[in-house]
């Protein structure tokens, strides 16, 4: 995370860092390898069967391999260098393209009023993997703005933590700590409830 810089404000503490789940890359990776296999098969029939040219076939294989690796490296790089950061004063999305760009999109919590926090998980696979998005609607003096935290692991837990943070900021409670969330089953009621564990050091919920 040393390449993802966030200039913090005075008395600002980084509470949570959340990267998108790596599982969201799997469909793209499978699609790339599928088209790579198709291109090799087509190259075989076109350049070896019809034209009987080994040089053209090797050139086509090398070109397909190069394009496949380039796409895969870009996908993984974009995923790795994009994180969501929650601090005691703001929520930010940091996107970095090494040697090209560095972008921060954030919302200062003490400058807006959060009107709605929605957690959404779509699809059977996402339900099984517990991957979804959190939509935060902020009411500004002039317009409404929506901040989306998309493709993350444990969206319900992260959403509950962010909601608790926003409530503390709105009430002026500065005693906000880094939190690691987990589900706990109460032995008396047998119903799961959300509890917080506060470690001594900052917790990073990277998935």
Q: How far apart are CA 25 and CA 201, in angstroms?
A: 30
Q: How far apart are CA 151 and CA 21, in angstroms?
A: 6
Task: Check residue 161 and give its pLDDT.
Answer: 86
User: What residues contact residue 47 under an 8 Å CB cut-off, 6+ apart?
Assistant: 53, 54, 56, 57, 60
Sign of CA dihedral 29, 35, 37, 43: negative
pTM over 0.75, yes/no: no
| pLDDT confidence bin for 87, thresholds 50/70/90 | confident
Task: Check residue 207 and give its pLDDT.
Answer: 37
- Three-state secondary structure along 68-88? HHHHHHHHHHHHHCEEEEEEC
Task: Check residue 69 and give its pLDDT.
Answer: 96
User: What residues contact residue 81 under an 8 Å CB cut-off, 6+ apart?
Assistant: 3, 4, 95, 96, 97, 98
């Amino acid at each position: 995370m040393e390449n993802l810089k966030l200039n913090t404000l005075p008395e600002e503490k980084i509470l949570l860092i959340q990267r998108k789940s790596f599982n969201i890359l799997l469909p793209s990776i499978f699609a790339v390898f599928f088209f790579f296999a198709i291109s090799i098969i087509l190259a075989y029939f076109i350049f070896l069967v019809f034209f009987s040219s080994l040089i053209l076939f090797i050139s086509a294989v090398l070109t397909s391999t190069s394009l496949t690796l380039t796409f895969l490296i870009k996908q993984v790089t974009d995923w790795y260098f994009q994180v969501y950061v929650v601090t005691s004063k703001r929520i930010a999305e940091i996107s970095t393209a090494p040697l090209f760009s560095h972008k921060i999109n954030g919302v200062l919590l003490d400058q807006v009023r959060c009107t709605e926090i929605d957690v959404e998980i779509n699809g059977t696979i996402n339900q099984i993997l517990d991957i979804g998005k959190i939509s935060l609607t902020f009411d500004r003096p002039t317009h409404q703005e929506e901040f989306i935290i998309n493709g993350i692991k444990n969206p319900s837990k992260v959403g509950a933590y962010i909601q608790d943070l926003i409530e503390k900021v709105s009430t002026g409670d500065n005693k906000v700590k880094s939190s690691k969330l987990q589900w706990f089953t109460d032995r008396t009621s047998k119903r799961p409830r959300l509890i917080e564990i506060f470690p001594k050091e900052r917790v990073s919920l990277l998935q």
